[in-house]
Amino acid sequence: AETVEDQPDQYRKFMLQAAKLEPAWYYTLGKYEINLGNDDVAAKYIDLACAADTDNVRIANQAHWRVRYHLDKGQT
């Protein structure tokens, strides 16, 4: 996937395949979407990662961005 980071469609394709095997890759895909300015898509991937993750610390590391995202969307 790293070899096609400049090709979003290809990158997403490879990362989605990786995330099916290891859901923690959804975090990486979410961060990629954040960097592209696609916060709604990023939220979807980060939520998928958090739902499948058993590491509470890794989930908690996403809290700041997730709270800010939902507040920006008017959700309290």
Q: How many CB atoms lie within 10 A of CB 52?
A: 13
| Summary mean pLDDT of the chain | 95
- State both tokens at 61: 């590391």
User: Can you tell me the mean pLDDT for 62-73?
Assistant: 95
> What CA–CA distances, in Å, run from 18 to 12, 34, 49, 53?
10, 19, 12, 15
Cβ-based neighbours of 38, under 8 Å, separated by 6 or more: none
Residue 2, pLDDT score: 85
* pTM of this structure: 0.89
33 contacts 22 by C-beta, under 8 angstroms: no
